[in-house]
Amino acid sequence: MAVYTEVSDEDLAAFAKNYDFGEILSAKGIAEGVENSNYLLQTAKGPYILTLYERRVEPKQLPFFLGLMEHLARSNVQCPVPLKGRDGEALRTLCGRPAAVISFLSGLWPRRVTAEHCAELGAALAGLHQAGMSYEGKRANSLSVDGWLFLLSRIAPQDAENIERGLNDLLTEELFAISKAWPKAGLPTGIIHADLFPDNVFFQHGKCSGLIDFYFACNDLLAYDIAICLNAWCFESDGSFNITKAKRLFAAYQAVRPLEPAEKAALPILARGAAMRFLLTRLFDWVNTPAGAMVKPKDPREYLLKLNFHRRVSDLGAYGLS
């Protein structure tokens, strides 16, 4: 939930003059995305999203993200596209921040994930990976193993202990183990979304109507993106793993892009890494969010449970993969 920057009506009216959508009839701050300020604009030509990029997005990486959205949309991935102004530019400045107007995508994200959603997700993710192959932009994943080590170094051991006794030791040992076992080569790489949680996937009439929020996208192992989705989509609220959801996800993904044997073999370690990534960022936000902040941090313990599930996995059958 965001809206960090209040845009004045004068600034907005001046900003609107860069575009062909006519007058802005309304601008509502929306509770979407925790990294940026988002406004839903009503214009004479329909709704648009106005995004002001805040702290966590590096301005010099914005052309990579905006270019990716354009590339994917041209390749028939359903996703929003940046709107170009009269000057041909999509990226400009508003209230001292980089800002862009993005097309509006119909659909609702699923509050209750079903196995059908997971099948739709699998197909959409594979389509994204295939379309990303021809994108020329490159961006390293700043939240892979090295990034996790850095994050852990910034979390005081006592803060981790306060969340759960023994957590600091567990994180240190587990991160060492993941780091050693992480696949160094031999797996297909390409553009990954890297944050494809249910609130970033819209559905209409039971079908995926589009993917949003590409601001963690980067070049990395394609199967790691699946591992993130396993964590984000296939666990129930009681912490149990739903193998039916995972099977549907894999089946739909592989109908588009079959997994290589090395990718399947790497899944348990990739899933552990994905759980570690979200456990660490949530833990970092949990201990660093001041009281009275505008964003409520997410409970890191959810991902501790998921991490522990993956640590116990001994064969791929646990994920519904033969």
Positions that interact with a second copy (CB under 8 A): 1-3, 6-10, 12, 24-32, 40, 42, 47, 104-112, 202-204, 289, 291-294, 296-297
Q: How far does Cα 150 stand from its chain's mean position?
A: 20
CB closer to a second copy out of 29 and 147: 29
Q: Write phi, then psi, for 94 (nearest 5 degrees).
A: -145, 130
Q: How many other CB atoms sit within 10 Å of the CB of residue 272?
A: 25
Q: In the complex, what is the shortest distance from the CB of residue 300 to a second copy, in angstroms, rounded to a whole number?
A: 12
Q: In the complex, what is the shortest distance from the CB of residue 129 to a second copy, in angstroms, rounded to a whole number?
A: 26
Q: What separation in angstroms does the CA of 139 have from each of 89, 111, 149, 215?
A: 21, 31, 19, 11
Q: In the complex, what is the shortest distance from the CB of residue 28 to a second copy, in angstroms, rounded to a whole number?
A: 4
CB closer to a second copy out of 255 and 294: 294
Q: Are 211 and 175 in contact (CB under 8 A)?
A: no
Q: Are 125 and 67 in contact (CB under 8 A)?
A: no
CB closer to a second copy out of 202 and 278: 202
Quote the Cα angle for 316-247-257, to 5°: 90
CB closer to a second copy out of 8 and 314: 8
Q: Are 302 and 237 in contact (CB under 8 A)?
A: no
CB closer to a second copy out of 44 and 140: 44
- How far apart CA 272 and CA 228 sit, in angstroms, is 9
Q: In the complex, what is the shortest distance from the CB of residue 162 to a second copy, in angstroms, rounded to a whole number?
A: 13
- How far apart CA 298 and CA 282 sit, in angstroms, is 6
Q: In the complex, what is the shortest distance from the CB of residue 18 to a second copy, in angstroms, rounded to a whole number?
A: 17
User: Per-residue b/e over 72-109, b at no fewer than 16 CB within 10 Å?
Assistant: bbebebbbbbbbbbeeeebbeebeebbbbbbbebebeb
- How far apart CA 171 and CA 160 sit, in angstroms, is 9
CB closer to a second copy out of 134 and 289: 289
Q: In the complex, what is the shortest distance from the CB of residue 225 to a second copy, in angstroms, rounded to a whole number?
A: 24
CB closer to a second copy out of 104 and 182: 104
CB closer to a second copy out of 255 and 295: 295
Identity at 237, one-letter amino acid code: S
CB closer to a second copy out of 46 and 317: 46
Identity at 263, one-letter amino acid code: E
- How far apart CA 97 and CA 50 sit, in angstroms, is 12
Q: In the complex, what is the shortest distance from the CB of residue 179 to a second copy, in angstroms, rounded to a whole number?
A: 31
Q: In the complex, what is the shortest distance from the CB of residue 307 to a second copy, in angstroms, rounded to a whole number?
A: 22
Closest CA to 284 of 181, 130, 165, 156: 156
Q: In the complex, what is the shortest distance from the CB of residue 121 to a second copy, in angstroms, rounded to a whole number?
A: 14
Q: Are 56 and 35 in contact (CB under 8 A)?
A: yes
